[in-house]
Structure formats: structure tokens, C-alpha cells
Amino acid sequence: MHVLGIETSCDETAAAIVSRDKHGAPQILSNIVLSQIDEHEAFGGVVPELAARAHLLSLDRVIQAALTDAGIEFDQLDAIAATAGPGLIGGLLVGMMTGKALSASLDLPFIAINHLEGHALTARLTHDISYPYFLLLVSGGHTQIINVRGLGKYNRLATTIDDALGEAFDKTAKLLGLGFPGGPQVERHAISGDPKRFVFPRPLSGRDTLNFSFSGLKTAVRQRASALAPLSENDIDDICASFQQAITDTLVDRVTRTIESVEAQNLAGKPRRFVVAGGVAANASIRSALETACSWQGWEFIAPPAHLCSDNGAMIAWAGLERLEAGLLSKLDEMPHPRWPLDQETASIIGAGKRGAKA
């Protein structure tokens, strides 16, 4: 079967075709991502109205490019999957309406996909792993630890009580004048910096919690930058390195605590796997530290290729294929969900996710 996936939740216009090979292994036949960085760079962040207009102007040709790269025609598709949330409402509407129109005109099943589920299942696409596994989801709008027990079976163990990690990266980059998007810029400067020059806080360190907090760390960076102003290139490099080290130490602490907690409760199962996904998972330093931490605990660590950690159509198409195979289809009156928790049962934490709308 061939599934077309459409992703328009934020500032990437993306479409992809996924299938399975003759042995049943996942297969990406095409994956087209059109970035909107140039449209938003002058504003230091994503402007929702501009993003929606850019999706509207580009999505048709991105879908056609995905079909061309895959070497198939519309009549060879078996289903249409589109991101239905969480995300910016304008972009979600463009992608969903396009997906619904294709579904109706081609008489194909339509599948509304939770963007977070797309990230959560990416490791099954890239590494063909089985359920269950534990997931660290780190992105622009979400920072969570999730027990992925099966398709549609997600239990959130931890979340951020204020800012998402990707947001903290972006705001730190903006503060330092590094441009947009912030995460890659901070990582690039951190390579040349001294991570020991500045001692930034490790939020909630030592507390009996698996949750995250990044607003205090972001404030500490701003205070240090203000005290040093005007900043030299070495100052910027050292701030970035010290900030990234604080983030890395925090994530390693939470993942280690999670492993210890689930093993104490006999929740781990076998094989013991920890997956990292989301845009921040593309950070090489963070990936390396988490891999080492998991190895020390005797757990397997899995991270999708960096280009599949950021928003893309392949993860949406794959989530659609899994749902198609399970008979979990959507109706054409499905509405977009600007806020759409992956775990519908665990009570939300006051303040969590209020400042971030996308994954």
C-alpha cells in the first residue's frame, strides 16, 4: 500500500509517500520538505499568517514532487494522511482541506494524524522496532517522556511545566542575535565554546520529579548576556556551549531517573528501548549524551536520522499507514486541533504547553 502524508502544522510544507517492501519492512519512497525559513527569518520566529499563506501557495507542487520522486500516480495511492494538530490553525486547515479534497476526489480513506504521534512512531519507520518503548519527545512546542505501549496507546510520564525545550533554544538564539531557527545556530556556536565558563542552573535537578522546566535557565542566560554586553564572539560561543551543556545534563538526568523509575515499577518490558524524537533530537551533542546514559543503564538507545527528527511528511505518512493497517480511519468532517495531547487520560500540569502550540 502507498500512503501520502501531508504536514503543514508550522513552517515546513511537506509531503511524502511511504509503503512497505516485499518483506513488510517500512519504506520511504519520497520525502519532500519545503522550508519557510526565508519568509520568517526577518521576524525572528514563525508568523502564523505568513506560514498559512506559504502553505497555500506551495502545497500542490510539493505533493506533486512527492509523487514524482516516488514514481507513482494519484491512482496508485491507497490513503491520504494529513496532520490535524497540534499546530497553527491556519496551516492545519490548508493541509487538512487539501487532504480531504484528495480523499473525496480519489475515493480514498482519509486519516487525520496527531503530529506528536508522527514523531512518536518515527523510530518504527526508520528502525522497524516493535512496541513497547519509551520516548523522549523534545521539540519547539513539547517536551515529554511517554510510554509508547502500542498504536494509540500512550502514557505521558513527564512534561515541561513552562517552556518547551525547542522554545528555550529559539529564544536563547534570538537573545544572542543568532538568527532563526535558533536550535541549529546555538549548536553551531557551542562547538567552538567552553561549556564550563558559565555555570547555568540545571532546572529541577535533585527534585523528586521527572518533569522539566526551562524558563529559569533561559532567564539565567539573559542575565549573564546582559552583564557581559556588548558580547564578543567568544562570549556568544561560551554562552551557547554552557547553555547546551546545562540542557544536556538536565535531559540525561531525567532519562536516567525515568529508567530507574520504570524498572522499579516493572514497567520496562523487553527489550528495554529509549527513543528520542522531535526537532531538538537532531542535536548531535544531546544525542550522544543520551546514548551514553542509556548504555550505562543497559538500555538500547534509538534516534531517527536528523532530517527525520524535524517536521516532515514521511512521519505523517507512516503514522497514516499504521492506522490504515489497523482500520483506524477518520471521517471527512474531522476538525483541526490546535491543541491535541497525545495522552488523552493523564491530567495536564498547570502551565504546561501554554506557550507552545506545535511539535
Task: Give the pLDDT of residue 350.
Answer: 54
For the ranges 110-119, 176-185, 300-309, 338-347, the lowest mean pLDDT is seen at 338-347
The pLDDT assigned to 136 comes to: 97
pLDDT of residue 355: 39
Is residue 218 within 8 Å of residue 163, measured between CB atoms?
A: yes
Q: What is the mean pLDDT of residues 90-103?
A: 98
Q: Which amino acid is at 218?
A: K
Which residue has better confidence, 264 or 270? 264
- Tens-digit pLDDT profile for residues 184-204: 999 999 999 999 999 999 998
Of 41 and 177, the structure prediction assigns the larger pLDDT to 177
Q: What is the pLDDT of residue 206?
A: 78
* Mean pLDDT of the 246-262 span: 95
Per residue in 282-299, pLDDT tens?
999 999 999 999 999 999
Instruction: Give CA–CA dist 28/71, Å, rounded.
Output: 12
Give mean pLDDT, residues 9-17. 95
Average pLDDT over residues 230-257: 96
Residues 120-151 have pLDDT tens digits of: 999 999 999 999 999 999 988 899 999 999 99
6 vs 217: CA distance, rounded Å: 35
Residue 271: per-residue pLDDT: 82
Instruction: Give the per-residue pLDDT at 354.
Output: 42
Residue 154, pLDDT above cutoff 90: yes
Rounded to whole angstroms, the Cα distance separating 253 from 256 reads 5
Percent of the chain with pLDDT over 90: 83
Query: Chain-wide mean pLDDT for the chain?
Result: 93
- Axis crossing angle, helix 115-127 with helix 313-325, rounded to the nearest 10: 80
Tens of pLDDT, residue by residue over 302-350, are: 999 999 999 999 999 999 999 999 999 999 999 999 999 998 777 776 5
Domains and CATH numbers, the chain: 3-125+308-325 (3.30.420.40), 131-306 (3.30.420.40)
Quote the pLDDT of residue 359: 34
| Long-range contacts formed by 223-226: CB under 8 A, 24+ apart | 224/198, 224/200, 225/175, 225/176
pLDDT (mean) for 87-106: 97
With cut-offs at 50, 70 and 90, classify the pLDDT of residue 15.
Answer: very high
Tell me: pLDDT of 353 over 70: no
Structure confidence at residue 179 as a pLDDT band (50, 70, 90): confident
